[in-house]
């Protein structure tokens, strides 16, 4: 591992050359038989008050990035900076502050809430753990959080199973807001919800962002989900970022063949309007032994000679757009 890099502190969160490999253990002696290269050299940043959408198919490594940011996983290589400080070198006081400032909302509102706790206690718990507020002030704060996410404080004594999926996700959001965070890692927060409820939860997250000046890392497998919440979007394929652009730019001028294929898969509301659909060839290759050269080349309809040998790097095509593809020299 090289020397840890330093951050300019310009961004709220900065990820530099992040790698996360998982060992594959085999045999009676659990010998290491290889590595799953879940994240392989990813650099990203999120500004204050900004939402970065992170999109890619299942297994591309996007949730692993979220878990490394939350320090639920230790990176194999690379550095993550929050407010200019390397989170792997924080002292206990710094780590306590980091845990307060960076929160998470997970995909499955059914399993992320403790079924034996009342929902009031679930939202109150972070305040107790961090020793914030006491007595009536704490209860006032919990009630206020319920109102903020569109739930009645009278529900506080009920248990998670008494709520619908959308309501449970609102409870998860209230819990994530309890400590007044600056950044929330939203890991597929609407994927497990009915389509009719998804828009309500996305609108709620957007309103809360405006009200509290929050930043989000919004992880999703579908470009249509992140469209309305993101300021910038990063597209990920097999452990690497292949394109990053401002939201409007990505949807109006997608450059990477993989981004174009993902966009062409979004259904359009007017059935009479024809849309050219790009069908991706084959399956996503294994991250245990990713293809040489451009990792997308076995599925790319525009692959050229050299794409299977050389690996493209992420390069700026303008101030708001980066792509990793030989089509854009
Ligand atoms: Fe396709 Fe080549 Fe671009 Fe990779 S580098 S996306 S294979 S054209």
Q: Is 307 in the pocket of ligand 1 (CB under 6 A)?
A: yes
Please compute the mean of the pLDDT values over residues 48-73 and round it to a whole number. Answer: 95
CA of 252 to the centre of ligand 1 (A): 20
Is 312 a pocket residue for ligand 1 (Cβ < 6 Å)?
Answer: yes
In short, whether 328's Cβ falls inside 6 Å of ligand 1 is: no
- Say what percent of the chain tops pLDDT 70: 94
**How many other CB atoms are there within 10 angstroms of residue 22's CB atom?**
16
Mutate which of 303, 306, 323 for ligand 1? The one with the most ligand atoms within 8 Å of its CB, which is 303
Confidence of residue 196 (pLDDT cuts 50, 70, 90): confident
**Residue 151 pLDDT greater than 90, yes or no:** yes
Cα 294 to ligand 1 centroid, rounded to whole Å = 6
More confident residue, 6 or 327: 327
Higher pLDDT, 286 or 258: 258
CA of 89 to the centre of ligand 1 (A): 38
With the most atoms of ligand 1 within 8 angstroms of its CB, the residue from 294, 301, 306, 310 to mutate is: 294
Q: Which CATH superfamily is domain 8-269+279-323 in?
A: P-loop containing nucleotide triphosphate hydrolases (3.40.50.300)
Q: Is the CB of 287 under 6 A from ligand 1?
A: no
Please give the pLDDT value at position 214. 96
Question: 1-55 pLDDT, tens per residue?
Answer: 444 445 556 799 999 999 999 999 888 888 888 899 999 999 999 999 999 999 9
- For the segment 232-242, the average pLDDT, to the nearest whole number, is 97
Mean pLDDT of 290-303: 94
């Amino acid at each position: 591992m090289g020397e840890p890099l330093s951050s300019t502190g310009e961004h709220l969160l900065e990820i530099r050359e992040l790698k996360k490999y998982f060992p594959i253990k085999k045999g009676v002696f659990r010998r290491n038989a290889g590595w799953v290269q879940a994240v392989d050299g990813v650099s990203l940043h999120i500004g204050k008050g900004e939402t970065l959408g992170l999109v890619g198919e299942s297994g591309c490594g996007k949730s692993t990035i979220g878990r490394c940011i939350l320090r639920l996983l230790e990176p194999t290589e690379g550095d993550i900076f929050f407010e200019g400080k390397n989170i792997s070198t924080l002292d206990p006081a710094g780590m306590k502050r980091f845990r307060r400032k960076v929160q998470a909302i997970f995909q499955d509102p059914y399993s992320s809430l403790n079924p034996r706790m009342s929902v009031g206690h679930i939202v109150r718990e972070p305040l107790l753990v961090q020793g914030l507020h006491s007595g009536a002030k704490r209860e006032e704060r919990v009630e206020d959080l319920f109102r903020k996410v569109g739930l009645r404080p009278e529900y506080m004594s009920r248990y998670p199973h008494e709520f619908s999926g959308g309501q449970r996700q609102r409870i998860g959001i209230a819990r994530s807001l309890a400590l007044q965070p600056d950044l929330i890692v939203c890991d597929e927060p609407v994927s497990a919800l009915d389509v009719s409820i998804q828009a309500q939860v996305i609108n709620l997250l957007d309103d809360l962002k405006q009200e509290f000046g929050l930043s989000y890392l919004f992880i999703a497998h579908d470009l249509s989900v992140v469209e309305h919440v993101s300021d910038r979007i990063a597209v990920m394929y097999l452990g690497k970022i292949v394109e990053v652009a401002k939201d409007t730019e990505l949807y109006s001028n997608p450059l990477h063949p993989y981004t174009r294929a993902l966009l062409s898969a979004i259904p359009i509301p007017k059935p009479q309007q024809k849309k050219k659909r790009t069908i991706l060839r084959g399956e996503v290759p294994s991250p245990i032994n990713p293809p040489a050269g451009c990792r997308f080349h076995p599925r790319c309809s525009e692959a050229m000679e050299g794409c299977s040998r050389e690996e493209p790097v992420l390069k700026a095509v303008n101030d708001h757009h980066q792509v990793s593809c030989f089509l854009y020299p």
